[in-house]
Every structure is written in structure tokens, then in C-alpha cells.
């Protein structure tokens, strides 16, 4: 990755759940064609690691990362598969140490002020804010900017095409994560053209 910051790759990071590894490459190509290069493949399905490997091998313009990283084993497996960044829904000291040692950029998840302060104490200033809408959304992040201006976030969880601009307008938000450009019916129908159109609309938010 030429840029060490996940937050600066794109205004929107698609959060992808891959059930069928055969979908991974055409799906990634559609997202990249629409202008969304950074793609977070969540480790929620048996196909996830193979999907990361396939995208890393076959879609050179994509910057594929792993999401739902919750253990050192997840970190090791994801990097071995070709993940170029890591995203976790939360963090522990053990997980944070593994992500720091991975050699790739990472976004540990936070939902409270204390978690943000604890990460800053450990030299980490870029994080995922999750679950964004449930944890207080735009007003919460806006209130963190005063006392903790050095922290930057990628809000994920309940973010939509409609709410994304409000998040992106905040000075402490670098990008948002979301899956609205990947409607289940479009993925099931392998309607990659529709996904490309939705990706282009999302990329335009930046």
C-alpha cells in the first residue's frame, strides 16, 4: 500500500460478506470499477480467507483487507492470505499487539471515549468507530473532536448513503464503512453492473 493510512484510501470502504468464493473477484472488480479500491472482506464466513486470497491475486487495483479480526490467529491468517489492512470490531491488548506486529495498517474498533484514550496512550490514532449508529453516531463523534482531536475514525455500522455525508463532513472522520452498495439481491443475482453503479455513487461522496 502506498499510503500507510486506511482512512485515506477512499471516502467509503465497502464491508463485504462473501458466502461464495466465486463471487469475490467479480464483486471486487465491480467495486474498483466504481471507484472503491479499499475493500474490507469480513471474516464471518468460511469463504472469507479464500476470497481475500483471490482478490489479492486477481484484482491488482484493489486494496483488500480483512474485517471482523478478533484474534491473533485471524491476524496471521488474514495477512498470509494477502490482506493489506486489518479492521476489528473492538480490541484487547493481545489483539492490538498482534495487529501492530502484522506489518500492515489496522483500524481497531472503539465505541467509548475510554477506549479511544487507551488507544491514543498506545500510540494508535486511527480507529474504527463501531457500531456507529448504535453508539451515538454523528453527534458522538463530533463531541469527541474537542477533547481528542488527534483521533481519526472510520465509522461503520448502520451507515447509509443518506447518513454517510454527515459523517464525512466531520473533521475527525477519514472515511466510512458500509454495505449499502452491496444489496443482497444484487449479489445473489450476480448483478455486478448494479453494484458498480452503486459503488460509483458511494465514491462520489468524497
- Indicate which residues carry an active-site annotation: 40, 128
Long-range CB contacts (within 8 A, 24+) of 139-146: 141/167, 141/170, 141/172, 141/173, 142/170, 144/113, 144/116, 144/172, 145/170, 145/171, 145/172
Query: What span, in angstroms and rounded, lies between the C-alpha atoms of 206 and 42?
Result: 23
Q: Specify the residue for cell string 468507530.
A: 129
Q: What is the 3-state secondary structure (H, E, C) of 68-114?
A: CCCCHHHHHHHHHHCCCCEECCCCCHHHHHHHHHCCCCEECEECCHH
Grid cell at residue 15: 464491508
Amino acid at each position: 500500500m502506498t499510503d500507510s493510512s486506511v482512512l485515506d484510501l477512499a471516502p467509503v470502504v465497502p464491508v463485504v460478506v462473501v458466502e461464495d468464493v466465486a463471487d469475490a473477484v467479480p464483486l471486487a472488480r465491480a467495486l474498483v470499477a466504481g471507484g472503491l479500491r479499499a475493500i474490507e472482506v469480513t471474516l464471518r464466513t468460511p469463504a472469507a480467507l479464500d476470497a481475500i486470497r483471490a482478490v489479492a491475486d486477481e484484482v491488482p487495483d484493489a486494496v483488500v483487507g480483512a474485517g471482523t479480526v478478533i484474534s491473533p490467529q485471524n491476524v496471521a491468517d488474514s495477512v498470509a492470505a494477502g490482506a493489506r489492512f486489518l479492521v476489528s470490531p473492538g480490541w484487547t491488548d493481545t489483539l492490538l499487539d498482534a495487529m501492530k506486529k502484522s506489518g500492515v495498517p489496522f483500524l481497531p474498533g472503539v465505541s467509548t471515549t475510554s477506549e479511544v484514550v487507551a488507544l491514543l496512550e498506545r500510540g494508535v490514532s486511527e480507529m474504527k468507530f463501531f457500531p456507529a449508529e448504535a453508539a451515538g453516531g454523528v453527534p458522538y463523534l463530533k463531541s469527541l473532536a474537542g477533547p481528542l482531536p488527534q483521533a481519526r475514525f472510520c465509522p461503520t455500522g448502520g451507515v447509509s448513503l443518506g447518513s454517510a455525508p454527515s459523517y464525512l463532513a466531520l473533521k475527525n472522520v477519514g472515511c466510512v464503512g458500509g454495505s449499502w452498495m452491496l444489496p443482497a439481491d444484487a449479489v445473489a443475482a450476480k448483478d455486478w453492473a448494479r453494484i458498480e453503479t452503486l459503488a460509483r455513487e458511494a465514491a462520489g461522496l468524497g
